[in-house]
Amino acid sequence: MTSLVSPADLTALSGQLEQLPLPQALLHLTESFPGGTVLSTSFGQEDQVLTDMIMRFDLPVRVFTLDTGRLFEETYKVFQRTVERYGRKIEVYFPDALAVETLLRERGPFSFYESLDNRKECCRIRKVEPLRRALAGAQCWMTGLRTEQSETRNQLPALTWDESFGLYKYNPLHHWSLSEVEDYLQHHRVPYNSLHDRGFVSIGCQPCTRAIRPGEDSRAGRWWWEHNTNKECGLHDR
């Protein structure tokens, strides 16, 4: 599939998207990448905002999620409520079974606590490789990343070229505050993960996520035993 937009047009397209109200921007994006726009959702607050817009306005965006096999029960519940609410399927990608079996046999079920390398290997198997399959054939990948989520994301652009996966990456909520996200969910009565009401801001795999403490940034609850500030799993470079 050949994109109608080349990397040289990145700045122009980004400016056009920023000038439009968000629902119209999403429509313009799908027209720029006909049949090639996807949304990855972990059923977090930001992803639910975008899922609501896509599904209420029936936009031609393929929505998928990565099931690592270690998600919270509450995440599956909001998955179910979302499908029931909008009546539209969400694609699911699992990690390679043999790779998971090998990881557990050779390193045990909690190897990610032992070293950063082990944790990144687990993330690669359970998240990054399934993402590559999910993004196959896509031209533009939409995410719920926001600038205020962490120090490493404070210069997050609306639209960029993702070298790792070889496609455009659109972050339509990059300038939204958490309160704006929460207000949107409440106003439109969008299903959301009940863990958010218990201090969980960024929600991933159950063994690797905790609620944040007062004064911590939203990523502090992810891989909470690590002391580095770049709390990423390999899906995003920032």
Distances in Å between the alpha carbon of 221 and those of 42, 164, 236?
16, 25, 17
Q: In whole angstroms, what is the distance from residue 76 CA to residue 71 CA?
A: 8
The catalytic position among 122, 123, 205, 233 is 233
Q: What per-residue string of b and e applies to 197-214 under the rule 16 or more CB within 10 Å gives b?
A: eeebbbbbbeebbeebee
Which alpha helices (DSSP H) does 33-148 contain, by range?
A: 45-56, 73-86, 97-107, 116-123, 129-135
Please spell the DSSP secondary structure of 127-171, one letter per residue: IIHHHHHHHTT-SEEE----GGG-GGGTT--SEEEETTTTEEEE-
84 Cβ contact partners less than 8 Å away, ≥ 6 residues apart: none
Whose CA is closest to 120, among 112, 132, 129? 112
Residues 6+ apart with CB under 8 A from 73: none
Q: Active-site residue 233, yes or no?
A: yes
Which strands sit side by side in the sheet containing 62-66, from one edge to the other? 91-93, 62-66, 37-40, 140-142, 167-170, 159-162
Give the type of residue at 162: D
Active site residues: 233
